[in-house]
Amino acid sequence: MDSLVVLVDLSESTIRRRILEGAFPQSVELSDNRVAWFVSDIEQWAASRR
């Protein structure tokens, strides 16, 4: 989550809140306790916020 926080310039709690609200790109489940996002999805989402 640390690299995601730096990439989108939001706090971890804000990212988690937006995920729960459905206002953040969909993650991909890698295992039971690990998720990831496509960089292109995050970059596109971040660009739409500007």
- Counting Cβ atoms within 10 Å, is residue 34 exposed (0-12), middle (13-18) or buried (19+)? exposed
User: What is the predicted pLDDT for the residue at 46?
Assistant: 92
30's CB contacts (< 8 A; 6+ apart) are: 36
Show pLDDT as tens, one digit a residue, over the chain (50 residues): 889 999 999 999 999 999 999 999 999 999 999 999 999 999 999 999 88
User: What is the predicted pLDDT for the residue at 11?
Assistant: 95
